[in-house]
Amino acid sequence: MLISIQGKNMWKYVKKYKNRNKKKKMKMPNTMYNSIKESLNTTHHAFIKEAGMGVEFECETIATRSVFRMFPRGTYRWTLNDGPLTMEPERMVFRMGDLVIQGLRTTDTGLYSCRLHYTEREIITVAVFSLYVKGEYDPIEVNEGRSIRLECNAYLLGILYPAAAKEWYHNGDKTSLQDIPARNKHRDVIEDASPKREGNWTCVVYNPYTKKSWTTAFYYVKILPPLTVFELILEYVRNNVKNSILIMVGFFSVVMVISSIFIDMVDKKKKQQDKIASKIQYKLLEDSGCGFYDNEDNLCYTDKDGKVVVCEKPEDENEKGATSLADKVKNAGKAALEKTKNLIEGSEAGSNTSKNLKEGSEAGSNSKSSTGDDENKNAADVSTTQTLDSFSYEDDTICSYTGDDTVSFHDDSLSESSCEESFCERRPLLSLPKYHVTFR
């Protein structure tokens, strides 16, 4: 307990030691403050100058001299339109608290204030000056239908003179924008810009009690044609970058989803169309009976008008190896012979079975079966290894090619030799004929 009491007492001594060199904050006496306020109410500084002329703003008064006697470390600071004044040494001079500006420009128009920093954190406004420079102003361009936003720079006057109000003049005529409290810091808005709004706009602050006024702003407004849709989009993107990025991401996401759905639908549609086209092609193939071999030995079928329907490699190995018309035709004949043999063997087996089942029938029936058995037996002796002697085609319509793009039809039967003479070597007959085959 004793240790804690001693610790508290020691902490009090430490705080007292730290604060011993600190001076008490000095406040401005009320009499001095009232004298400054009276100076503001009795003086009036409103300048109208031509461009290129000079002007001098005097800040030092009897009231300010009394302040400096009490606060010798005080300093003057100048502001323009409630912001710090950027000094231009080539034409601006700061002298004993006064501000001198040479070679006035239209950009110098506004409300100037002289402020006295009498302590590190205490500031008081001791004088205000309005300056209107007559000259050629850069236009403020506003598109038709948009809003015109104008700044009067009257906020400080509204603080110093609470009853002060601002009024706007268009080409010298008072507008409906009047009796607006000067301490209203928001910009004044003129809705629905139209060509009749074009011209000079002047803001005047008026104090009804002192009957004093200050011209604090001047603008030349130029009305442009209305914005196009593309220009409106660009303006929105410039003013709303984050929202624009989110909108673009969302838009492309939707486009990607719709594209994927569309592509999937197209693929399904294409597959269905391919199936239908394939059925149509093979249906035409069945009705065609004509075809030819191309340069790559692909089998190309044509429709009845001679148009190519489909080209595919032949399934038969013998067809793949055939290089001449005769070989290709012989291969076709051998394939037909093989089918004929299989058919004959199947017929013989069927006849023998029928014979056993119908044993004991009439003599006329037996004689007919015997005749059929002899024919089938002779046909069954045919071997696939026998040499093909000749064969011919029998068809109502035979398709031949007399040129690359000319198709002719003629009724006839065709032998191997005449086939080579009548048809292009690359385009032999590929029909659905009846084969007549003879062997050596």
| Residues 375 and 363 sit within 8 Å (Cβ to Cβ) | no
| Residues 392 and 413 sit within 8 Å (Cβ to Cβ) | yes
Domains held by the chain: number: 4
Q: Are 132 and 174 contained in the same domain?
A: no
Q: Are 176 and 191 contained in the same domain?
A: yes
Q: Are 37 and 123 contained in the same domain?
A: yes
Final residue of a domain: which of 286, 310, 329? 286
Q: Which pLDDT does position 3 carry in this prediction?
A: 47
Q: What are phi and psi of 420, to 5 degrees?
A: -70, -30
Sign of CA dihedral 132, 136, 138, 143: positive
Distance from C-alpha of 314 to C-alpha of 297, rounded to nearest angstrom: 8
Whether 4 maps to a domain, the answer reads no
Contacts of 13 (CB under 8 A, 6+ apart): none
Whether 365 maps to a domain, the answer reads no
Distance from C-alpha of 270 to C-alpha of 264, rounded to nearest angstrom: 10
| Max Cα-Cα span within the chain | 162
Mapping DSSP to helix (H, G, I), strand (E, B) and coil, where does residue 303 land?
coil
Final residue of a domain: which of 188, 206, 226? 226
Which string of DSSP letters, residue by residue, matches 241-266? HHHHHHHHHHHHHHHHHHHHHHHHHH
Strands of 299-302's sheet, edge to edge? 290-293, 299-302, 308-312
Mapping DSSP to helix (H, G, I), strand (E, B) and coil, where does residue 438 land?
strand
Distance from C-alpha of 108 to C-alpha of 335, rounded to nearest angstrom: 107
Q: Are 346 and 424 contained in the same domain?
A: yes
Among 163, 169, 162, residue whose Cα is nearest residue 190: 169
- Degrees (nearest 5) of the Cα angle 363, 369, 372? 145
**pLDDT by residue for the chain (440 residues), tens digit each?**
444 545 556 666 556 555 555 555 678 888 888 999 998 988 899 999 999 999 999 988 888 888 888 888 888 999 999 899 998 999 999 888 899 999 999 999 999 999 999 888 888 999 999 999 999 999 999 999 999 999 999 999 999 999 999 999 999 999 988 889 999 888 888 888 999 999 999 999 999 988 899 999 999 999 999 988 888 888 888 888 888 888 889 988 999 999 999 999 999 988 888 888 777 766 655 555 555 556 666 666 665 566 665 566 555 544 444 444 445 555 665 665 666 666 655 555 555 544 554 454 444 444 444 444 444 444 334 444 444 444 444 444 444 444 444 434 444 444 444 444 443 444 444 444 444 445 44
Q: What are phi and psi of 419, to 5 degrees?
A: -65, -40
Give residue 191's domain range. 138-226
Within 10 A of 142 (CB to CB), how many other CB atoms are there?
19
Final residue of a domain: which of 239, 255, 286? 286
Whether 2 maps to a domain, the answer reads no
Q: What are phi and psi of 291, to 5 degrees?
A: -175, 180
Measure Cα distances from 31 to 34, 38, 46, 48 in Å: 5, 10, 27, 34
Q: Which pLDDT does position 405 carry in this prediction?
A: 42
Mapping DSSP to helix (H, G, I), strand (E, B) and coil, where does residue 229 land?
helix
Q: Are 351 and 331 contained in the same domain?
A: yes
Mapping DSSP to helix (H, G, I), strand (E, B) and coil, where does residue 430 land?
coil
Measure Cα distances from 418 to 246, 267, 432 in Å: 78, 49, 18
Q: Are 54 and 89 contained in the same domain?
A: yes
Within 10 A of 167 (CB to CB), how many other CB atoms are there?
19
Q: Which pLDDT does position 314 carry in this prediction?
A: 55
Q: Are 319 and 406 contained in the same domain?
A: yes
Question: What CATH number is attached to the domain comprising 92?
Answer: 2.60.40.10
Q: Are 185 and 235 contained in the same domain?
A: no
Q: Which pLDDT does position 431 carry in this prediction?
A: 42
Whether 9 maps to a domain, the answer reads no
Residues in the chain: 440
Whether 99 maps to a domain, the answer reads yes
Q: Which pLDDT does position 96 carry in this prediction?
A: 80
Which string of DSSP letters, residue by residue, matches 142-181? EETTS-EEE----HHHHHHSTT-EEEEEETTEE-S--SEE
Q: Are 302 and 435 contained in the same domain?
A: yes
Q: Are 306 and 418 contained in the same domain?
A: yes
Whether 105 maps to a domain, the answer reads yes
Distance from C-alpha of 399 to C-alpha of 290, rounded to nearest angstrom: 6
Whether 58 maps to a domain, the answer reads yes
Within 10 A of 54 (CB to CB), how many other CB atoms are there?
12
Q: Are 299 and 412 contained in the same domain?
A: yes
Whether 19 maps to a domain, the answer reads no
Q: Are 350 and 432 contained in the same domain?
A: yes
